[in-house]
Amino acid sequence: MNSGSKGGRGERAFYNRCMSDTPRHFIQQIIDADIASGKWGVVGDPTVVRTRFPPEPNGFLHIGHTKAICLSYGLAREYDGAFNLRFDDTNPAMEEQAFVDSIKHDLLWLGANWHAPDDGGAHGGGLFYASDIFDKMYEWALLLVRHGKAYVCELSAAEVSERRGSPSKPATSPWRDRPTEESLRLIEEMRDGKHADGSMTLRAKIDLASPNFNLRDPVMYRILRKPHHNTGDTWCIYPMYDWAHGLEDSVEGITHSLCTLEFEDHRPLYDWYIRAINEALKVDGKPAIHHAQQIEFAKLKPTYVVLSKRNMRAMVEDGVVDGWDDPRFPTIAGIRRRGYTPEAIWAFNTSVGITKFNALHDITLLENALREDLNERAPRRMVVLDPLKVTITNWGEHGDAGRLEDLEAVNNPEDASAGKRTVKFGKTIYIEREDFMEDAPRKFFRLKPGGEVRLRYAYWITCHEVIKDGDGNIVELKCTYDPQTRGGDSPPPDAEGNVRKVKGTLHWVSADDCLDVEVRLFDRLFTVEEPGKATGNFLDDLNPDSLTVLTGCKAESSLQSALVDEPVWGDGIRRYQFERQGYFCVEQEGASLVFNRAVGLKDSWGKNAARG
């Protein structure tokens, strides 16, 4: 599979620049101190920093996850450590192979390659599944039961929650002091399928009065007859996330287990589990297991999006969006289809930084990161989204009206090495309908009757006649061109030394050398910064105009396929700047080309807001 971050003109330079010059965040400072004290080893030793990204395969990854990925992978790379991809697949009810596949694809696209170095991943530690160590987890559970640190409880889920107590009132369970032998027999029976789903659980014997409710004898195992995407029907009991998580970190030798703030209150439980196992192992005369250090950081929460997987799943299932990879959806798959680059996502995450404070992040930071990246790298092309026909009446006056003239166009003014291409000019061209105004105000510098404008890379034209259909719609303009303005240059001064000037420059395409293409314009899926905050239901804040499909757009013919000298995008997706329109990527290749608009040239939302 393509790693997505290899090669590409300017790619590495861009990447390095966005990674440097940022102050060291608190997790880097912790790791620096760990290295100074030799806590996990010395630099160069792959165990010095071993991180992981632990998704539950119950949906597609979203932009929030990119923060966790960039952080954990970025640290493994920075300290020459190792990065694991681990599927936290402890809940067979919600998990699917399709999600596993999409998550792998997204990570490779982002450049977070978990493959070991001999398998192409420079900082990879490997691929892990929680379900691969179900056996080990079960053995440790038995160990805790044997040492009186866990018991089988016959309360139903509803009863457990009824008896959970309050901050001032401890929880209760009538089964807490059942004999060890009985719990041992029952847990084995649970595993062997001798008890009904939900009829009993294994619980850790910690502290029913703890102010931290996570420590009030949490459930470790439940009975659930559901086939698992990895283990099939080998198991009918499944570990709870909190029991499993620290054990996974332990088995993989994770040094810095990085997660979001909502797990802060779970850390004492993870620590308790590992300590309890190690105390029991010590009594049994066995070596201790690895204990990872968990560090929490604030989630990424961009404006104008809904990121909860549960809500996202509902939007997919209810058809609010057109699948998990809808380009309006903030999934990695969605924004990739939209035209986002991995580099822009890295730059955005770098700019957001790593802190312990939950905050709302302005989505325009993400959009600007993309503009900045594509401004440097995207080849320019001309595409007319809403075409208006223009006939150049003095073209071929001497009998060669069918002639097409080759003109040179600059591919990327930001990158001289991107070179030039040829565009063809002729008798009939298209301009953007909104670039002409019949009754134009004085400050309208585009085309108007009697007015003159520059056609980019071509000629200056003057409008002489407006043709309308029976309903009064403008269907064509008749213009003349000035042969002395070839390439868009100013004409020489007249006899009195006056120089003619124009203020407007329009993009255009030749009617005899163009492609009919479809263009999809996307707007934000929601109209407010925090969907659902005021209305109570995020669906009430949906933007009804988030998708506009334009057909019959006219594109210069060079867009049919990538030109030889176009930069190579690491992921094979073609991206362009359509002059004066924004940044676009190819959604569909072939006879009928379709483009998606990734982002406009300017922040139009900010502009509208400023206008009031």
Task: Scan for tokens 């903030």, then name that residue.
Answer: 330
- Check residue 356 for interaction with ligand ATP (CB under 6 A): no
Cβ proximity to ligand ATP, 352 vs 509, nearer residue: 352
Considering the complex, what minimum distance in angstroms separates the CB of residue 447 from ligand ATP? Answer: 47
Helices of type H across 293-354 = 309-317, 332-338, 342-352
Beta bridge partners of 381: 578
Binding range to ligand ATP, per CB under 6 A, among 53-61, 116-124, 373-381, 570-578: 53-61
Cβ proximity to ligand ATP, 61 vs 382, nearer residue: 61
Could you give the angle at which helices 241-252 and 267-283 cross, rounded to 10 degrees? 60
- Check residue 260 for interaction with ligand ATP (CB under 6 A): yes
Question: Residue 65, exposed/middle/buried by CB under 10 A (0-12, 13-18, 19+)?
Answer: buried
Considering the complex, what minimum distance in angstroms separates the CB of residue 241 from ligand ATP? Answer: 8
Three-state DSSP class for 339?
Answer: coil
Closest CA to 274 of 128, 149, 179: 149
Which backbone phi and psi does 400 adopt, to 5 degrees? Answer: -120, 50
- Check residue 307 for interaction with ligand ATP (CB under 6 A): yes
Alpha carbon 568 to its chain centroid, in Å, reads 21
Cβ proximity to ligand ATP, 55 vs 582, nearer residue: 55
Six token digits for residue 546: 């988030």
Considering the complex, what minimum distance in angstroms separates the CB of residue 109 from ligand ATP? Answer: 16
Binding range to ligand ATP, per CB under 6 A, among 15-23, 76-84, 138-146, 301-309: 301-309
Write the interaction track for ligand ATP spanning residues 61-80; mark x where CB under 6 A is met and - where it is not: ---xx-xx------------
Rounded to whole angstroms, how far apart are CA atoms 221 and 200? 9
* HSE-CB for 181 with a 13 A CA cutoff: 0
Considering the complex, what minimum distance in angstroms separates the CB of residue 523 from ligand ATP? Answer: 22
Six token digits for residue 461: 């034209």
- Check residue 259 for interaction with ligand ATP (CB under 6 A): yes
Considering only residues 4, 34, 51, 54, which one is a binding residue for ligand ATP as defined by CB under 6 A? 54
- Check residue 246 for interaction with ligand ATP (CB under 6 A): no
- Check residue 355 for interaction with ligand ATP (CB under 6 A): no
Considering only residues 104, 299, 389, 580, which one is a binding residue for ligand ATP as defined by CB under 6 A? 299
Interface with ligand ATP: number of residues (CB under 6 A): 15
Considering only residues 143, 150, 236, 300, which one is a binding residue for ligand ATP as defined by CB under 6 A? 300
Cβ proximity to ligand ATP, 72 vs 558, nearer residue: 72
Q: What is the rounded end-to-end Cα distance, in angstroms, of the chain?
A: 48
- Check residue 245 for interaction with ligand ATP (CB under 6 A): no
Cβ-Cβ contacts under 8 Å for 580 (sequence gap 6 or more): 432, 506, 507, 601
* Radius of gyration of the chain measured on its C-alpha atoms: 31
Contact residues toward ligand ATP (CB under 6 A) are 54-56, 64-65, 67-68, 259-260, 299-300, 307-310
